[in-house]
Structure 1
Amino acid sequence: MANRMILNETSYHGKGAIEAIPTEFIARGFKKAAVITDKDLIQFGVADKVTGLLDQVGIEYEVFDGIMPNPTIENVQEGVTFVKNCGADAIIAIGGGSPIDTAKAIGIIVANPEFSDVVSLEGVAATQNPSLPILAVPTTSGTAAEVTINYVITDKEKQRKFVCVDVHDIPVAAFVDSDLMMGMPKALCAATGMDAMTHAIEGLITKGAWEMSDMLHLKAIEIIGRSLRDSVAGDAKGREEMALGQYIAGMGFSNVGLGLVHGMAHPLSAWYNIPHGVACAALLPTVMTYNKDFTGEKYREIAKALGVAGAETKTIEAIREEACGAINQLSKDVGIPATISELGVKAEDLPAIAEDAFRDVCTPGNPRDTTVEEIIAIYQSLM
């Protein structure tokens, strides 16, 4: 079977990347934008940095700022109504994973109205038309939603998250500008950064990995490993490097899938409204240890990318332990909670949460096949 790579048509990187938005918008013949974002980004003036550029050249737009963390079915439905009513022919999505994910679902439904029931998009939906064009502007350095064909929506009624994978939803252009990421609070910077590291590591060891995706994921691990601590400390160069590292990880995992960390993180977010990056970060070191004997030489490559001394010559058993230890230390250094009980997880909920994790679309990509009982045991070890 052939391996497939799907990426943005165009992407801009580095400080000032957002200045290309008006030129790109006009060159593509768009007339009016629906700006999709959240109230915090409006309140703190981050979205204004983009809409101000539109104002300067007279691009017409309307703003929908109702996006919530862990966006819901209702969020998507409200956004679809907004976009249809405002008559936009393109979307500009500004934010972290939540606004960009919601924009993908909105854009797909507007272009494929037969999928107006958002749940019908779960998994790999047979949409026929490309999304209403999306220009994605990330403001966090972790989700890589601007370069992926995936998005995640929360079903509040059923207390679950579902993943949608659609080749038609990738933004046509991405503007990865670290200037927009400088305002991230330390905790958000840490959580999204560890989410990016999770993407890189799971993408490297997932069952669908191949040489081209390995190249991307190893480079992402190297960049994130050397820059995340500085980024969390507020260093401008660290945040610029993280903006690139998380994007490179997204280029890879979007095309090959993820694994058990994401499978277990999704229900934690759905049950307790835990930020996705925090859930992934809390799980990553333990799940890495769980997987270590099923990864061939991949953990040696991770250790080399992280600069672990002696990675070339130590036994595979030893270097697997050191790779896990290096990620565990990174997680501690940036302040990730060591237990999931700190995040509000209740022991009595674990059997039901584990069932959800086992059924998650990401779990089958894990290099080690798992069971509900083993997932429960992993959760329990983190309590």
Structure 2
Amino acid sequence: MIQFDIVRQYNFPTVIRFGAGASAELGPHLKGLGFSRPLVVTDPTVRDLPFFKKIISELERQGLKPELFSDIHKNPVKSDVLAGKQAFQTAGADCIVGIGGGAGMDVARAITLSIHHHRDLFEYDDLIGGDQYVTEDVPYFVTLPTTSGTGSEVGRSAIISEDDTHRKRILFSPKLLAKMVFADPVLTMELPPFVTAATGMDALTHNMEAYIAKGFHPMCEGIALQGMALISESIVTATKAPDLASRSKMMIASLMGAVAFQKGLGIVHSLAHPLSSLLDTHHGLANAVNLPYGMEFNAPGLELPFQRMAQAMGVSGSDPAALVNWLFELNTRLGLPTRLNAIGVKEEHLDTLAGLAEADFCHPNNPKPVSREDFLRIYKKAL
């Protein structure tokens, strides 16, 4: 029996303090390094939750002077980052703490980049070679995840959209990796079922897409398989009757997915990203609905990898169709939709969505090439 009520340390890919109670180490950690004025970045939902208020009060009790920044969008935009940079400077902050899910982490990481890098933010877009301009030091940066989905706490990139077009840009540098991660599953215990399910399916998508992404990276593939196994045995319990074990397994599996997708992602994320851009759909929900359809597209010719994924997740049957059907059934068990029309997509959206999907940065790593016509056909089938 694994004990999840003790804190363990993993040094991969950065220093991770994992286990119930790890979040209590934040204040002493910062104080021990001589920091006193952290900019604490989160989203408007997390800001009002009891555990977050407790974290802030504990920092204050320990003599730190945290400055809170939470004025960010569900799908973060450039103006969020610029406002956060201003908040850092106005407060005279000396370090940055990202607390939350993907939105809070992305904005915190982008603010970290912006403090000593003064070009236009999107000149640092990795897709146009902007990482070459990330040459200066960055403020000390730590993270505390509050969902088990994006795994952004161990990421080195931030996805930020343009305010007007909502085109997604990716800011990347190894310098943006958190110096310390405090992964405390207790912070996820009060998540509502929908958020638990949607973010959990996001984590599953990361692990599955990383496993079959193009290229040779057996380390990432091994991590991805174990991440899938942990999710399959815990996501339903974490959603419907959460306990420390299920929440802990989901948190570590989410983190593992983010490590694994250093190998790459694929068609599912390219199907999902346009839904967030065009319709402001929750990213995890967009992945959940599209995951069975994207995997169905990839299955022919990948029978062995699909068999290994099925074995990892305890799916009976070696035919890839069994795994695809299991994904549909999993969404249903979690109370998530299996059709795009259930999340506001209409026929008239499909052409625009297909164009955005074709332009997305994830599908070049898909194991099979995907055309605009493929995207349109998949969207029509999923509608």
Secondary structure at the residue paired with 2:195? helix
Structure 1 counterpart of 2:49: 44
Is 1:288 equivalent to 2:295 in the alignment?
yes
Q: Provide the identity percentage.
A: 29
Equivalent residue of 2:354, what SS?
Answer: helix
The CA distance in 1 between the partners of 2:181 and 2:143, in whole Å, is 5
Residue of structure 2 equivalent to 1:375: 375
Separation in 2, partners of 1:128, 1:156: 26
Equivalent residues in 2 for 1:321-340, closer than 5 Å = 321-340=321-340
Q: Deviations over 1:132-172 (max 9, x none)?
A: 22211111111100011222112231133233332221111
Provide the C-alpha distance between the structure 1 equivalents of 2:38 and 2:59, rounded to a whole number of angstroms: 9
* 1:8/1:174 contact within 8 Å kept: no
Q: Distance in 2 between matches of 1:25 and 1:259?
A: 38
The aligned residue for residue 230 of structure 1 is 237
Name the counterpart of 2:362. 362
Paired amino acid for 2:306: Y
Query: In 2, are the aligned partners of 1:189 and 1:231 still within 8 Å (CA)?
Result: yes
2:125 is aligned, of 121, 126, 147, to 121
Instruction: Report the equivalent of 2:114.
Output: 109
Q: Give, as a single letter, the amino acid of the residue that structure 2 aligns with 1:51.
A: I
Partner residue, 2:141:
134
5+ long unaligned stretches in structure 1: 1-5
Structure 1 residue 244, shift from structure 2 partner: 1.2
1:70 aligns with 2:70: no
Q: Deviations over 1:172-223 (max 9, x none)?
A: 1111111111121111111000000000000101113511001100000000
Report the counterpart of residue 244 of structure 1 in structure 2: 252
User: Deviation of residue 120 (structure 1)?
Assistant: 4.2
Q: Note the alpha carbon deviations across 1:287-325, whole angstroms, 9 max, x for none.
A: 001001243521111011111235xxx4xxx2x122222
Deviates more, 1:232-241 or 1:371-380: 232-241
Superposed CA RMSD in Å reads 1.7
1:21 matches 2:26: yes
Residue 220 of structure 2 corresponds to which residue in structure 1? 213
Q: Which string of whole-angstrom CA distances, capped at 9 and with x for unpartnered residues, describes residues 269-298 of structure 1?
A: 010000000001000011001001243521
1:97 aligned to 2:115?
no
3-state SS, counterpart of residue 156 of structure 1: coil
Q: 2:187 aligns with which of 180, 188, 191?
A: 180
Other-structure match for 2:165: 158
Whole-angstrom distance in 1 between the partners of 2:316 and 2:48: 46
Q: Give the TM-score of the pair, scaled to structure 1.
A: 0.92
Q: Determine the C-alpha separation between the residues in 2 that align with 1:228 and 1:129.
A: 41
Is the partner of 1:92 in helix, strand or coil? Answer: strand
Partner of residue 66 from structure 2, selected from 43, 61, 66: 61
CA distance in 2, matches of 1:207, 1:222: 21
Q: Tell me how far apart the structure 2 counterparts of residues 284 and 106 of structure 1 sit (CA, whole Å).
A: 31
1:37, 1:47 within 8 Å by CA — same for their partners in 2?
A: no
- 1:304 is aligned, of 304, 311, 319, to 311
Alignment partner, residue 345 of structure 1: 345
2-structure distance, mates of 1:309, 1:344: 33
Relative to structure 1, the CA distance from residue 211 to residue 8 in structure 2 (aligned partners, 3 Å threshold; closer, same or farther) is closer
Partner of 1:3: none
The equivalent position to 2:269 in structure 1, one of 238, 259, 262, is 262
Separation in structure 2 between the aligned mates of residue 85 and residue 202 of structure 1, nearest angstrom? 41
How many pairs are equivalent?
Answer: 369
- The CA deviation at 1:59 is 1.5
Instruction: Rate the CA distance shift 1:166–1:367 in 2: closer, same or farther, 3 A.
Output: same
Amino acid at match of 2:74: P
Q: Which runs of 4+ in 1 moved over 6 A?
A: none
Shift of 1:351: 1.6
Counterpart AA for 1:117: L
Q: Contact 2:39–2:97 (CA<8 Å) still a contact in 1? A: yes
**Would the alpha carbon gap of residues 21 and 85 (structure 1) be closer, same or farther in structure 2, given more than 3 Å must change?**
same
- For residues 87 and 8 of structure 1, the distance between their equivalents in structure 2, rounded to whole angstroms, comes to 30
Contact kept in structure 2, 1:156 and 1:270, CA below 8 Å: no
By how many angstroms is 1:8 displaced?
A: 4.4
Answer whether contact 1:294 1:368 (CA < 8 A) is retained.
no
**Deviations, residues 107-134 of structure 1 (Å, cap 9, x unaligned):** 10112122x3346425252211343222
User: SS where residue 113 of structure 1 aligns?
Assistant: coil
Q: Deviations over 1:26-49 (max 9, x none)?
A: 333323200111222222223223
Alpha-carbon distance in 2 for matches of 1:376, 1:215: 33
CA distance in 2, matches of 1:294, 1:168: 38
- TM-score, reference length from structure 2: 0.92
Query: Of 4, 9, 14, which aligns to 2:14?
Result: 9
CA distance in 1, matches of 2:122, 2:208: 30
Give the 3-state SS of the residue equivalent to 1:111 in structure 2: coil
Aligned amino acid, residue 326 of structure 1: W
Instruction: Give the AA of the match of 1:228.
Output: I
Of the structure 1 ranges 260-269 and 217-226, higher mean CA displacement relative to structure 2 is found in: 260-269
